Amino acid sequence: MNAIIRRAGPEDIPALVGLLRLLFSIEKDFVFDAAKQERGLRLLLSRAEAAVFAAEQDGEVIGMCTGQLLISTAQGGLSALIEDVAVLPAQQGKGVGRRLVAAAESWAVSQGASRMQLLADRNNAPALAFYQKMEFQTTAMICLRKML
């Protein structure tokens, strides 16, 4: 795999929005809205406590992963929330996702985080198997949300 993993920039937003369209087509809790996803990516790119990683091959963005720092009272310090791990279907199974998550992990460690966490669709068996291979563990916690 000759993809390079790098920090994404504003010029990558159209490709990243396309990857989010694919991701949200799998996740039943989210509705794709290109304008909202673009706005969210711009916010992430503008914040020092966030990172967006892109996998690029032959000039095309083929994958992405985002991370944000949170303060965890359980950890007594920083924790990284990993979101939006997406790889084009034709590129899946080639190590791109693993390398993207590893880049996010390196970034989180460099920022002083002592834990990474993520949410995954409980019905996405391939994603759950991937995260288990990446040594993520399930917890007894569940995600709750309230729209404001």
Locate the domains of the chain by residue range.
4-133
H or E segment and range at residue 71? strand 60-72
Indicate yes or no: pTM above 0.85.
yes
Q: What ranges in 7-142 are assigned the alpha helix state H?
A: 13-26, 34-46, 96-110, 125-133
Assign 79 to helix, strand or coil. Answer: strand
What is the model's pLDDT at position 1? 60
Among 3.30.420.40, 3.40.630.30, 3.90.850.10, 3.40.50.300, name the CATH number for the domain at 4-133. 3.40.630.30
Average pLDDT, 10 consecutive residues per value, the chain (148 residues):
93 98 88 96 98 97 98 96 96 96 98 95 90 94 91
- Distance from C-alpha of 106 to C-alpha of 23, rounded to nearest angstrom: 23
Instruction: Count other C-beta atoms under 10 Å from residue 32's C-beta.
Output: 14
What is the model's pLDDT at position 96? 97
